[in-house]
């Protein structure tokens, strides 16, 4: 009886050990496979075709931006903080780049097409570096670029009017319109400049 009980316990322990081993092996397997998949899966495409208008009402498409790298960001003229701050920073980047600034486009895309007409955008951007290009469009055109660039922007009611919650990152695109990275909201100027210098190949 004692021997049988011992044998039973030994069997239980062996089964538990085997099952545990299989589970660990499986878990490692899944993890390894996941890690390998993560390495080969391409970054989800950010960017692509769009058609908008600039502050003079001229049509601008993704094809027009090619040939020069671009720092693009998305916002709206009624923005109380993120947009003016980013535009001040972008103006400082352009100044700091010196002659290399010619190799870069800085583009501000409105995510509030209902209010941001080309005229309003022009007046708004006149407070910042003149080299910053402003783009806007119809609701459908802006929706299309938001989707292509995976930009988050959502109207939020505010009293009788509204504000827009939106992504604050600056998108860095190479001369072929390919996404290469971002400058984060309030990233240190040295870090942002290093990224921009790399982008323009300086
Ligand atoms: Ni903003």
Reported as a single tens digit per residue, the pLDDT across 113-167 is 999 999 999 999 999 999 999 999 999 999 999 999 999 999 999 999 999 999 9
- CA 52 / ligand 1 centre spacing (Å): 19
For residue 202, give the DSSP letter: -
- CA 39 / ligand 1 centre spacing (Å): 34
Confidence band (pLDDT; 50, 70, 90) for 202? Answer: low
- CA 200 / ligand 1 centre spacing (Å): 26
- CA 76 / ligand 1 centre spacing (Å): 5
Distance CA 159, CA 154 (A): 16
- CA 180 / ligand 1 centre spacing (Å): 22
- CA 160 / ligand 1 centre spacing (Å): 19
- CA 170 / ligand 1 centre spacing (Å): 12
The residues near 182 (Cβ < 8 Å, ≥ 6 apart) are 169, 170, 171, 172
Q: What Cα–Cα distance (Å) separates residue 104 from each residue in 66, 133, 191?
A: 11, 11, 17
Check if the beta carbon of residue 105 is closer than 8 Å to that of residue 133: yes
Q: Model confidence over 104-115: pLDDT tens digits?
A: 999 999 999 999
Confidence band (pLDDT; 50, 70, 90) for 79? Answer: very high
Share of the chain above pLDDT 90, in %: 77
Question: What was the pLDDT predicted at 43?
Answer: 56
- CA 108 / ligand 1 centre spacing (Å): 10
- CA 167 / ligand 1 centre spacing (Å): 8
- CA 151 / ligand 1 centre spacing (Å): 12
Q: Model confidence over 20-43: pLDDT tens digits?
A: 555 554 544 444 444 445 555 555
Distance CA 198, CA 77 (A): 29
Distance CA 175, CA 75 (A): 23
Question: What was the pLDDT predicted at 163?
Answer: 96
- CA 59 / ligand 1 centre spacing (Å): 23
Question: What was the pLDDT predicted at 21?
Answer: 55
pTM above 0.75, yes or no: yes
- CA 104 / ligand 1 centre spacing (Å): 22
Confidence band (pLDDT; 50, 70, 90) for 180? Answer: very high
Check if the beta carbon of residue 110 is closer than 8 Å to that of residue 143: no
Share of the chain above pLDDT 70, in %: 78
- CA 62 / ligand 1 centre spacing (Å): 22
């Amino acid at each position: 009886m004692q021997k049988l009980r011992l044998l039973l316990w030994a069997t239980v322990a062996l089964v538990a050990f085997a099952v545990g081993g299989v589970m660990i092996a499986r878990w490692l397997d899944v993890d390894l496979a996941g890690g390998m998949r993560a390495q080969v899966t391409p970054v989800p495409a950010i960017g692509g075709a769009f058609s908008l208008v600039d502050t003079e009402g001229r049509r601008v498409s993704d094809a027009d931006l090619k040939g020069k790298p671009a720092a693009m960001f998305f916002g709206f003229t009624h923005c109380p903080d993120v947009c003016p701050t980013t535009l001040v920073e972008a103006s400082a980047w352009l100044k700091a780049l010196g002659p290399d600034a010619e190799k870069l486009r800085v583009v501000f895309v409105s995510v509030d097409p209902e209010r941001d007409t080309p005229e309003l955008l022009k007046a708004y951007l006149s407070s910042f570096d003149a080299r910053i290009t402003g783009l806007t469009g119809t609701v459908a055109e802006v929706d299309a670029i938001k989707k292509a660039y995976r930009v988050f922007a959502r109207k939020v009611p505010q009293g009788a009017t509204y504000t827009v919650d939106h992504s604050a990152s600056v998108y860095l695109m190479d001369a072929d319109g390919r996404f290469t990275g971002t400058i984060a909201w309030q990233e240190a100027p040295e870090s942002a400049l290093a990224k921009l210098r790399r982008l323009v190949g300086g």
